[in-house]
Amino acid sequence: MKLDDHENSLQAITRRHFFKQTGFGIGSLALTSLLNEQLLRAQVAPPGRTADEAPQQKPHFAPKAKNVIYLFMAGAPSQLDLLDFKPELKKRDGEPCPEDLIKGERFAFIKGVPRLLGTPHSFRQVGQSGAELSILLPHLSEIADDVAIIKSMHTTQFNHAPAQILMNTGHQIIGRPSVGSWLTYGLGSEGRELPGFVVLLSGKNQPDGGKSCWGSGFLPTQYQGVEFRSKGDPVLFLSNPEGMSVDTRRHTLDALQSLNRMHIDEIGDPEITTRIASYEMAYRMQTSVPDLMDIAKEPSAVHEMYGTQPGEASFGNNSFARAPPGGERRAFCAALSPRLGHAWLKRR
Amino acid sequence: MARSLAKRMLSESGPDVRARAAYGFRLCTSRQAKGRELDQLSKLYDEELARLTADKASAHKMLGDLAVADEARNAELAAWTVVSNVLLNLDETVTKE
């Protein structure tokens, strides 16, 4: 008997997945009711179809932005020195921390009564909006009216890893989807040649929060960020092994896909569709990734303007990775290595 | 890894293509392959054997230092290497349900 699509998609949710999903998040249930049914169906592709081929339905609100470039600069200079002026803190610089702020609290690495640290830099109002920016940001000050500065976010987490996980997933404990995962889940990606959510790492270290900073949490793993390396091959093992032609690669993927689909028909685990989709994505990335990361094609004047050097592993190069052709909708994310802020503080 | 699996499929099983494919499948997934699964693997093997018999250089590159003087044997081993690649990447091989 041929079931219709809807029943197929219900069948595709296995018992294990049902418990995993409901166990983890009322949030995901709430969200699925907010999104229309077609979109939900696209997420859990019916058996025999990869999520890749599932109909891409538009969400309720047409997204205006086509790309999101999200620079998460762990260890950057403090906002208190750059764009969040605290006159009272500056006035009290060097004083012991008021008791009502720390009474009954315990903080890691802090003994006794800490001293307040106000910014040594001066601030000024810039642009028509009168935004207060540090004199350390002369160039940003010139375009102050074109940027939105959000100062209302706060956290109780002050330690590196939990704070980074909170910043990226909304909770200090791992297990929630990162912001890029939510975006690709909720809005989808029109790009077929590259993953919707790409992570470019700069510096020697990973962020303290680790891969959870771009993980998919309780969402299906196809929404997690795909990590590109900033030097050498952007994605490891993407090139064909010696002697394997493009045709052979295609044949093996076809065989692999049809065998994996037979397996889906039997056990209906949606994670298999994720695997099929990621193999297919990898195949397309064999040509699209070298092109994306090849910034050497840009004219030298452009490199001078951005301070980028082709072939070097740098934050500038990562930030510069070219937007994909055709203005497709996707999310981008770049992370800088931590610890710079410490050096910054010590220098003062 | 794929080359070594291909070697075992050639030397430890036989005599025909389906028997070798079934043996490799069993090594990877710990279960007997179904008929349609063997159809798929045999088809891939036949296609690749034809290609690699004609293209000796590719077979050599794929085998590296496992290549021998017998070209027919090289083509066979290389074609089984391609099949092994598929077997090792099956969801069922990678994930135990």
Does B97 contact A271 at a Cβ distance shorter than 8 Å?
Answer: no
Quote the crossing angle between the two packed helices B2-12 and B71-89, to the nearest 10°: 120
- Alpha carbons A116 and B23: distance in angstroms, whole number: 70
- Alpha carbons A44 and A63: distance in angstroms, whole number: 22
Give residue A41's pLDDT band: very low, low, confident or very high (50, 70, 90).
very low
Task: Enumerate the residues of chain B whose CB falls inside 8 A of the CB of residue A248.
Answer: 48, 51, 82
Q: Within 10 A of B12 (CB to CB), how many other CB atoms are there?
A: 11
Query: Which of the residue ranges A27-31, A326-330, B17-21 has the most confident prediction, judged by mean pLDDT?
Result: B17-21
Q: Which residue has tokens 């179904």? A: B34
**A48-67 per-position pLDDT tens digit:** 334 444 445 566 667 677 77
Higher pLDDT among residues A46 and A279, named by residue: A279
Check if A248 contacts B (Cβ < 8 Å): yes
Residue in B closest to A279 by C-alpha: B89
Residue A73 in contact with residue A336, Cβ under 8 Å? yes
Task: Enumerate the residues of chain B whose CB falls inside 8 A of the CB of residue A275.
Answer: 91, 94
- Report the percentage of chain B scoring pLDDT > 70: 99
**pLDDT score of A26 more than 60:** no
What is the number of CB-based contacts under 8 A between chain A and chain B? 62
**From the CA of A259, how many Å to the nearest CA of chain B?**
6
**A130-183 per-position pLDDT tens digit:** 999 999 999 999 999 999 999 998 888 878 889 889 989 999 999 999 988 888
AA identity, residue A264: I
AA identity, residue A198: V
Q: Which residues pair with A123 in a beta bridge?
A: A134
**From the CA of A52, how many Å to the nearest CA of chain B?**
17
Q: Say what the pLDDT of residue A226 is.
A: 83
Q: What is the pTM of this model?
A: 0.65
DSSP for B60-86?
HHHHGGG--S-HHHHHHHHHHHHHHHH
Q: Say what the pLDDT of residue A49 is.
A: 38
Average pLDDT over residues A200-222: 82
Average pLDDT over residues B69-94: 91
Does A247 contact B51 at a Cβ distance shorter than 8 Å?
Answer: yes
Average pLDDT over residues A243-247: 83
Q: Say what the pLDDT of residue A93 is.
A: 92
Q: Say what the pLDDT of residue A96 is.
A: 93
Residue A142 in 3-state DSSP? helix
**A95-127 per-position pLDDT tens digit:** 999 988 888 887 777 778 888 989 999 999 999
Among B44, B59, B86, beta carbon nearest to A243? B59
For CA atoms B34, B37, B39, B45, give the dihedral sign.
Answer: negative
**Residue A206, C-beta contacts closer than 8 angstroms, at least 6 positions apart:** A335, A337
Residue A331 in contact with residue A196, Cβ under 8 Å? yes
Average pLDDT over residues B20-48: 94
Which secondary structure element, helix H or strand E, spans residue A192, and what is its range?
A: none
R_g of chain B computed on alpha carbons: 13
Among A241, A252, A267, beta carbon nearest to B44? A252
- Report the percentage of chain A scoring pLDDT > 70: 64
**Residue A114, C-beta contacts closer than 8 angstroms, at least 6 positions apart:** A96, A97, A102
**From the CA of A17, how many Å to the nearest CA of chain B?**
12
Check if A124 contacts B (Cβ < 8 Å): no
Q: Say what the pLDDT of residue A90 is.
A: 92
Does A279 contact B59 at a Cβ distance shorter than 8 Å?
Answer: no
**From the CA of B85, how many Å to the nearest CA of chain A?**
8
